[in-house]
Chain A
Amino acid sequence: MDEGYLDQFVSLFDQYDVLGAFWVNIQLTAYAAVLALVIGTVLAVMRISPVPSLRWAGTTYVTLLRNTPLTIIIVFCVLGLWGQLGITLSSDFQTNFFRLAVLGLAVYHAAFVCEALRSGVNTVPVGQAEAARAIGLGFWPAARLVILPQAFRGAVAPLGNVLIALIKNSTVAAAGSVAETSGLMKTMIEFRPDVILAVFLTFAIGYVIIVVPVGLATTSLSRRLAVAR
């Protein structure tokens, strides 16, 4: 572990764009998070609605997607949707893979977003709804003023966990031929096997730096927003 080792390791950063690879993962996460939040909210509304057929459809989606490995979903998006059905989301080759991976990440995590939102609704005691109705509030006023504000506060912590899982799972986009961190790490290790440990620790600590603040932020947010009961 002399200076030569460090120098060789540092010179790797001139040849490979490590920050650029992390940026790809952050973009994957951001787009997938927005899409998953939209799909997950629709699913959650379906699952808590009083309409049996919608509830059934929402439950089926969550059961199927939650029990399928993410890797299969991503491979399915690329080799199945694009490779076999010829569905393209962009004329550019790389952008197409990127968008297919975002789609795969979003439909998978939407199932977990749905469960997080639902668990938020479950934190609201029935007495709150009964009290709202007793003072004469109808369905919409009771939902808007009494139940949903508490439900969203209760959902912050589980939603934070989904976001953290999504950040880490964005590496699985490598299975869909997206050039991101795990692929770059593999290339760097193959090019310089002698500094393998330093390369791994660099990427690993990069994720610690991204994930830990998100964890701390959502935890403190959920504590600050917690409804005192």
Chain B
Amino acid sequence: MSNLVLFDVPGPRTRRRMVVVNVVAALVVAGIAAWALVLLDRKGQLEPAMWEPFAQPRTWTAYLLPGLLQTLRAAGLAIVGSAVFGLVFGMGRLSGSRVVRWVSGTVVEFFRAVPVLLMMVFFYSGIAQLRVVDPPDVPLLAVVLALTLYNGSVFAELVRSGVHNLPKGQREAALVVGLRPSQSLRLVEVPQALIAMLPAIASQLVVILKDTALGAIITYPELLDAARRFGSGNGNMLQALLIAALVFIVINYALTTLAERLASRVGRLTAGDATAEAPAMAATTTR
């Protein structure tokens, strides 16, 4: 709706002028795209030999699909882990005990501030050192742990913000009918907050899926790693990476669309006009 703010409804003269501008702009955009294609063609990147391997089933069954499977496996485990972590620490931040609140707050803010890649590298070496896991499982565990700690912290913030945004009457009514504060939190407030969180959760799933690609840096054989191996073996790295990116884009676009659908529907399911979004970094420790 931003157009409504900046631009008035166009009159006949403006509409004629806009048609001209529109055509010129379209030509410029198409020109840039054509220029890029010409440059690629001059370097021989559009040769059928560069793209043809991706039409062969073996490329998919031996490289890309196993990689995608590993990506989805890491993302799935990390989603489950983050949900548990987020619920525990989100409720911890809302607890009646000051100590529990402080500890949960510190943990959540710490893991939100540390880059996920640092955690992955640390867990990768640390778990290998402990020698309690089979060496082939170490990269997966490192990816899942790092993603769980970061995204779990984001989920914890979402739980808290969702509960804060509920109308006060929900808690008051729960206390009046005789529930203890912890029961009110568990049975009345958090379930409604979870529904309000759904759109934010769905868009966080995109973040989790994208961040699994960091696993390629610590030798986890996911989609990016598979594409890189295939590309360096066949001399079409550029094309392989583009295809891998395209797979990510398709999945993430579907998730984003789902998030938008959810956002327009959840309003009816909670009391009041409840929403949830993760607050800015460290913004809430002072409150």
Q: Contact at A69–B121, with CB atoms within 8 Å?
A: no
A27 at the interface (CB under 8 A from B): no
Q: Contact at B5–A193, with CB atoms within 8 Å?
A: no
Q: Contact at B113–A147, with CB atoms within 8 Å?
A: no
Number of chain B interface residues as a range: 35 or more
Q: Name the one of A70, A128, A171 contacting B118, with C-beta atoms under 8 angstroms.
A: A171
Q: Contact at B281–A164, with CB atoms within 8 Å?
A: yes
A48 at the interface (CB under 8 A from B): yes
Residues 87-125 of B, flagged 1 when their CB comes within 8 A of A and 0 if not, give: 000000000000000000000011001111111011001
Q: Contact at A53–B22, with CB atoms within 8 Å?
A: yes
B34 at the interface (CB under 8 A from A): no
Q: Contact at A161–B281, with CB atoms within 8 Å?
A: yes
Beyond A189-B121, A207-B114, whether A126 also contacts B129 by CB under 8 A is no
Chain A contacts of B256 at CB under 8 A? 67
Chain A contacts of B22 at CB under 8 A? 51-54
Chain B contacts of A207 at CB under 8 A? 113-115, 118
Q: Which of A31-39, A91-99, A210-218 contacts B (4 or more CB under 8 A)?
A: A210-218
Beyond A54-B25, A80-B241, A164-B281, whether A174 also contacts B6 by CB under 8 A is no
Interface of B is mostly: helix
Beyond A48-B6, A129-B4, whether A67 also contacts B125 by CB under 8 A is no
Q: How far is the CA of A133 from the CA of B213 in the complex (A)?
A: 49
Q: How far is the CA of A69 from the CA of B228 in the complex (A)?
A: 14
* Distance to closest chain B CB from A224 (angstroms): 13
Chain A contacts of B286 at CB under 8 A? 216
A106 at the interface (CB under 8 A from B): no
Residues 119 to 149 of chain A near chain B (Cβ within 8 Å): 121-122, 124-126, 128-129, 133, 139, 143, 147
A182 at the interface (CB under 8 A from B): yes
Beyond A121-B2, A121-B5, A143-B6, whether A83 also contacts B280 by CB under 8 A is no
Chain A contacts of B7 at CB under 8 A? 50, 139
Which residue of chain A has the shortest Cβ distance to B111 in the bound complex? A204
A175 at the interface (CB under 8 A from B): yes
Q: Name the one of B6, B43, B248 contacting A67, with C-beta atoms under 8 angstroms.
A: B248
Chain A contacts of B1 at CB under 8 A? 122, 126
Q: How far is the CA of A24 from the CA of B216 in the complex (A)?
A: 22
Q: Contact at B113–A57, with CB atoms within 8 Å?
A: no
Residues 154-192 of A, flagged 1 when their CB comes within 8 A of B and 0 if not, give: 000100110010001101101100000110011001100
Which residue of chain A has the shortest Cβ distance to B32 in the bound complex? A57
* Distance to closest chain A CB from B274 (angstroms): 20
Beyond A51-B22, A69-B213, A196-B125, whether A215 also contacts B282 by CB under 8 A is yes
Which residue of chain B has the shortest Cβ distance to A76 in the bound complex? B241
Could you list some 10 contacts between A and B, CB below 8 A?
A51-B21, A68-B249, A69-B211, A70-B213, A84-B238, A129-B8, A168-B114, A182-B117, A196-B122, A215-B283
A residues apposed to B, CB below 8 Å: 47-48, 50-54, 57, 63-64, 66-73, 75-76, 79-80, 83-86, 118, 121-122, 124-126, 128-129, 133, 139, 143, 147, 157, 160-161, 164, 168-169, 171-172, 174-175, 181-182, 185-186, 189-190, 193, 196-197, 200, 203-204, 207-208, 211-212, 214-216, 218-219, 222
